[in-house]
């Protein structure tokens, strides 16, 4: 993008509850397991007989073996997830990708399935359960209705943005925890917060095409947040949101940055670090305060024209 090009338009949406220790897990891409079959080659494989896109061409042989096995089980997975529905085999849309258990050979479907497999170390049985649980949860949560719900702009309007992309094309999502002056309005009704937070995640996922890009970058900004005055509603919302995204939204984050973090929360982060797999923590970065400090970390990944000034870039600040 040239210096004269217009800055990307920010999309107002929602943010997660402010708790580093309850940050959404970022599942690491595992080494192949015996459950995935005999193939153990780590290099991408062509799989000429499969529908392909830029993302599937990066799959290893072990991942393809697991994808095919999981894909063959889709009729049973749908039957488990939709046990109370008359038509248990009707196609469904997950993250903008239609999955038809009767005709699942589609590159984008493979990209979705491999996320569940990577989240469960390529163990097909565990991945099957995770996918079935996800489909059932979306039905029970009434996700279609949630996505049509209107949330008050004066309560949630300043808490989150989707703004620009990183140098690899991942959309960048900003969670602005200091964006509310009325904590009780945001977190007093935990169920409403969770509906709003899930709607936000789905809005972010709309930025992914599952052909070239299937992950996002999150920047969690704690400017103006005090850890000493957190309400029970905030704590409950953070805990429940973390569980939802860990269970039902695997492998959707490329990187996660924590900026302007209070000292106490920084200590929590470092304690939390010891409990998380090393490959997962590689996606987490704790950054200090100030545009210069933040920019030094973010500008190698995000062009200055795509990064707001308050974070060391040249784009207009988020409103």
Q: Could you tell me the CATH number of the domain that includes residue 274? A: 3.40.525.10
Mean pLDDT, rounded, of the chain? 86
| Phi, psi dihedral angles at 261 (to 5 degrees) | -85, 130
Residue 117: domain span = 56-141
Do 137 and 153 have their domain in common? no
CA distances to 117, 118, 129, 225 from 63, rounded to whole Å, are: 8, 8, 17, 42
Do 125 and 176 have their domain in common? no
Do 246 and 150 have their domain in common? yes
Of the three residues 120, 141, 162, the one that is the final residue of a domain is 141
Do 136 and 198 have their domain in common? no
Report the domain count for the chain: 2
In sequence order, what are the residues at sequence separation of 6 or more whose Cβ sits closer than 8 angstroms to the Cβ of residue 169? 212, 213
Of the three residues 87, 121, 141, the one that is the final residue of a domain is 141
pLDDT tens figures, 24-54: 444 444 444 444 444 444 566 667 789 999 9
pLDDT tens figures, 166-196: 999 999 999 998 767 688 899 999 999 999 9
pLDDT tens figures, 113-164: 999 999 999 999 999 999 999 999 999 999 999 999 999 999 998 888 999 9
Do 108 and 79 have their domain in common? yes
Do 206 and 298 have their domain in common? yes
Do 259 and 125 have their domain in common? no
Is 61 within the bounds of a domain?
A: yes
Do 204 and 76 have their domain in common? no
CA distances to 176, 260, 296, 297, 319 from 291, rounded to whole Å, are: 15, 10, 8, 10, 16
- Residue 18's Cβ-count burial label (10 Å; 0-12, 13-18, 19+) is buried
């Amino acid at each position: 993008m040239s210096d004269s090009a217009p800055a990307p338009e920010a999309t107002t949406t929602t943010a997660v509850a402010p708790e580093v220790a309850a940050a959404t897990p970022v599942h690491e891409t595992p080494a192949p397991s015996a459950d995935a079959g005999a193939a153990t080659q780590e290099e991408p494989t062509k799989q000429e007989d499969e529908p392909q896109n830029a993302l599937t061409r990066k799959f290893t042989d072990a991942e393809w073996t697991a994808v095919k096995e999981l894909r063959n089980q889709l009729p049973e997975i749908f039957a488990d997830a939709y046990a109370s529905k008359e038509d248990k085999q009707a196609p469904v849309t997950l993250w903008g990708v239609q999955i038809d258990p009767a005709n699942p050979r589609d590159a984008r479907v493979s990209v979705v399935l491999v996320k569940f497999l990577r989240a469960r170390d390529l163990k097909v049985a565990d991945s099957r359960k995770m996918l079935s649980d996800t489909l059932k949860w979306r039905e029970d949560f009434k996700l279609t209705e949630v996505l049509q719900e209107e949330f008050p702009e004066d309560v949630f309007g300043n808490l989150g943005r989707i703004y620009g992309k990183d140098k690899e094309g991942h959309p960048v999502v900003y969670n602005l925890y200091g964006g509310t002056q009325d904590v009780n309005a945001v977190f007093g009704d935990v169920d409403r917060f969770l509906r709003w937070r899930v709607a936000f995640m789905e809005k972010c996922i709309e930025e992914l095409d599952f052909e070239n890009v299937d992950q996002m970058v999150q920047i969690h900004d704690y400017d103006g947040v005090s850890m000493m005055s957190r309400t029970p509603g905030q704590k409950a919302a953070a805990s429940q949101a973390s569980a939802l995204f860990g269970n039902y939204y695997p492998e959707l984050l490329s990187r996660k940055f924590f900026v302007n973090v209070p000292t106490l929360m920084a200590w929590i982060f470092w304690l939390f670090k010891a409990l998380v797999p090393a490959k997962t923590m590689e996606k987490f970065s704790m950054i200090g305060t100030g545009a210069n400090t933040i920019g030094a970390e973010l500008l190698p990944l995000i062009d200055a024209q795509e990064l707001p000034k308050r974070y060391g870039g040249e784009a207009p600040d988020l409103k």
